Chain A
Amino acid sequence: MIDVKAQVGLGFDPAVQERQWVARCREGDETALTCLISRHRNRLVRTATNLLRDRNEAEDIAQEAFLKGFREIGKLRDDRAFSGYLYRICVRLCMDRLRLKRPELTEFDKVQPHSGTMVENRVVIEKLLAQLPAELRTTLVLREMEQLSYEEVAEVMHVPIGTVRSRLHTARERFRKLWIEAMGE
C-alpha cells in the first residue's frame, strides 16, 4: 500500500510521487490508480471540454483516456512520462471525435457577443469553433485556452513546431473571419 504522506503529497516531489504511483499501478495497486486519476482528471476533463465543448462527452473521453493509459501502462518506458502520455491520448481521442463531426456551416443571426451573457458567448464560440477543421481547432484551443507552448502543442499533436506555427496562424485568421461574420460586420 501507499503511505499516507505520499498520497497527501506533503514533502514529496510530485514527479517522484507520480513515478511511485505508476510503478505501483503496474503491480495492480488500486490506491495508486485512484491517486493517479485524482491528479490528472481535472486537466483531462477541462481540455476535453474546451476541445469538444460538451461536458458529458468530455468526461467520457477523459475516462477512455484513463482506460487506454492504464491498459498500456506496461509499454511505458519512462514512468515520468505518464502525465504527458495520458494527455496525448486524451487530445488524440478528442481529435478523433472531432473528425467524426463534420465542420458545421452555421448561419448566424447578427449576434452581439459583447452584450450577451457568458452562456450566450460560449454558444457563439461553440458555433465558431465547430466550423474549423479538427486540426486547426485543436491547435487554437490548446494554445489560446489551455495556454500550452508551441513545443507542448507540437508534442501533443505529434507534429513539427513549424506546422504548429502555420496552423495557429491559419486558425487565428479563420477564427477572426468567422467572428466578424458572426458579428454581422
Chain B
Amino acid sequence: MRVFGCSKFRRLASERLDRELSPREEAFLQKHRLACADCNCAQSQSSIALNFLRAATIEVDVHPQFEERVIRRLKVQRTRESLRYWSPAVAGAFIAGLAVVAALQMITRSSDLPHFRIPGAESEIIRAKNSLLLDKKLDIPLPR
C-alpha cells in the first residue's frame, strides 16, 4: 500500500547517497519506510541495482603506444591544417603564374605574325594627308 509522501521519500532516498540528510529528513525516511512497503522495497532494490552498477566499473589498461598514436595523429592534423591554410594561396599563385606565362606567349606570338601590305593603300594615305594639310592652310574647318 502506498501512503502520502512517496515521491519525497524516493527523492530523499536518492539524495541520501550523495549528502548527509538532516535529522528531520532522516526521521521522515524512517517513518515512511515503516509505513510504505513499496517504497521500502524500492529503496532496497535501488541499493542493490546501484551496487551492481558500481561493481561493473571498468578499470582499463591503456594501450602502451597511446602517446605515440596521439602525437602521430597530432602531426597529421597539423599538416592537414597547414595545407588547408596555405592551399588557397598556393592555388592563387599557380593560377597567376599560368596567366603570366599565357600572356608572355601571346606577346611573343604576336611579334612573330606576318605583316600584310595592301597594294595602293600607302599612296591613298599620303594623298589624304596632303589634302588635310591643304585644308588647314585655307582655314577650312575640318569636319568633326
Interface residues of A (CB under 8 A from B): 30, 33-34, 37-38, 41-42, 45-46, 49-50, 53, 55, 58-59, 62-63, 66-67, 70-71, 113, 118, 121-122, 125, 140, 143-145, 150, 165, 168-169, 172-173, 175-176, 179-180
- Is B66 close to A, CB under 8 A? yes
- Is B54 close to A, CB under 8 A? yes
- In the complex, the number of residue pairs spanning A and B with C-beta atoms less than 8 Å apart equals 92
Interface residues of B (CB under 8 A from A): 10-11, 14-15, 17-18, 42, 45-46, 48-50, 52-60, 62-63, 66-67, 69-71, 73-74, 77
> Can you list 5 A-B contacts (CB < 8 A)?
A34-B71, A55-B58, A71-B77, A169-B14, A176-B42
Which A residue sits closest to B63, measured CB to CB?
Answer: A59
Which B residue sits closest to A172, measured CB to CB?
Answer: B14
Contacts of A63 in B (CB 8 A): 66, 69-70, 73
**Main DSSP-derived SS at the B contact region:** helix
Asked if B74 contacts A50 (CB within 8 A), the reply is no
Asked if A144 contacts B71 (CB within 8 A), the reply is no
Task: State the CA gap A70–B10 with chains docked (Å).
Answer: 44
Task: State the CA gap A125–B49 with chains docked (Å).
Answer: 10
Which B residue sits closest to A48, measured CB to CB?
Answer: B60
Task: State the CA gap A45–B60 with chains docked (Å).
Answer: 7
Asked if B54 contacts A113 (CB within 8 A), the reply is no
- Of B15, B49, B54, most buried by chain A (CB within 10 Å of CB) is B49
Asked if B60 contacts A172 (CB within 8 A), the reply is no
